Amino acid sequence: MKKILLIAFLLPLFVSAQEYVDLLKVNYSETLKNNFQDMDKSTTVKIFNAGLIFPIVLNENQALITGADFNSNNLQLFPEAQFTNLYSTNLKLGLASTWSEKYSTTVVLLPKIASDYKNISDDDFYLGVFALLNMKKNENLKYRFAVYVAKEAFGVYATPIVGWYYLSPNQRFEMDMSLPIAADINYKLGKTNVGIDYYGIGKTFKIHNENTPTLYVDHSSLEFSGYFQYNLLEESVLLRAKAGYSTNKFEVYNEDDKIDFRLSAFSLGDDRTQLNTSINGSIFFRIEAVYRFHIRETNSETPNP
């Protein structure tokens, strides 16, 4: 009975997007070899991510969105340097609202601290805002329109997001698109899924070293991968193995070296001087675990093949 009541509360808030909510995600990835450009030197990049979303129901049409994300990166930023750890922790605080059977919105504040976590100060604090409009076309297709704006170490960053979520009538073929940030296409085969995905990353980290000027890392990456997914506990626990290619750019700049404005992948007034040698992309491998809450009714019929 409690599960049915929880579904009744969450259904109006999320049905205009996916048919599920991923409450917890954890993944770890490692590249084979990232070469420094025009040098016989290389580094590996190890990345760990964990994310939590916890919605708190306010009434039948609104819920408070809370949660947190943690990101850790380990690599050499310079050919002869020691490995550096870069961390990012951000909180999520927002409101999800349903306005009609067709339209719903979500607005989330995203404060974060991003640096090597040495001598943390106000300069390591940044604030982002995410706003989303969902539009339900029919039972199988939903559209989304969003914008993300944030303060980063180099200045202000913004990107519009346009996408859709499609689930075939037999619930086997799924498309989850949020361009230019992310894309996922997969097909269900019994207890497994096979798919391809894309993810665009953009974030910055401050670096604090004794007796040297403060620097920052401008991390941008485009990840393309294929994956195999195994579904457990009625598809509430998902285990994924991924392999693909990541561009993985980690550019180092002086903290006073800024740009005027960045819109998606385009920068205005970018005459910065990069301090480290450019790092080339590489093949990467990732393992991932997801805890998923399904919104659909527990007594729904099993889809036909």
For residues 125 and 146, is the Cβ–Cβ distance under 8 A?
no
- Cis status, amide bond into 180, omega within 30 of 0: yes
Choose between 16 and 231: higher pLDDT: 231
Nearest alpha carbon to residue 238 among 47, 26, 19:
26
Q: How many helices (H) and strands (E) does the chain have?
A: 1, 19
Residues 11 and 21: beta-carbon distance below 8 Å: no
**48-63 as b/e: b if 16+ CB within 10 A:** ebbbbbebebeeeeeb
Kindly provide the b/e burial profile for residues 72-88, where b requires at least 16 CB atoms within 10 angstroms of the residue's own CB.
bbbbbbeeeeeebebbb
Contacts of 99 (CB under 8 A, 6+ apart): 61, 105
* pLDDT (0 to 100) of residue 19: 67
Residue 126 has pLDDT above 60, yes or no: yes
pLDDT tens-digit readout, 27-72 = 999 998 899 998 889 999 999 999 999 989 899 899 999 999 999 9
pLDDT at 298 over 60: no
CA distance 6 to 23: 14
Reported confidence tier of residue 9, pLDDT bands at 50, 70, 90:
very low
Average pLDDT of the segment spanning 212-232: 94
Say if CB 216 and CB 253 are below 8 A apart. Answer: yes
pLDDT for residue 150: 94
3-state secondary structure of 99: coil
Task: Say how many C-beta atoms besides its own lie within 10 A of residue 96's C-beta.
Answer: 25
For position 82, what pLDDT does the model report? 92
CA distance 197 to 142: 19
Which pTM was predicted?
0.87
pLDDT, residue 34, reads: 93
Percent with pLDDT over 90 in the chain: 72
Residue type, 56: I
Q: Which residues, at least 6 apart from 275, have a Cβ–Cβ distance to it below 8 Å?
A: 215, 252, 253, 254
Token code pair at residue 220 = 């941008």
**pLDDT at residue 145, as a whole number:** 96
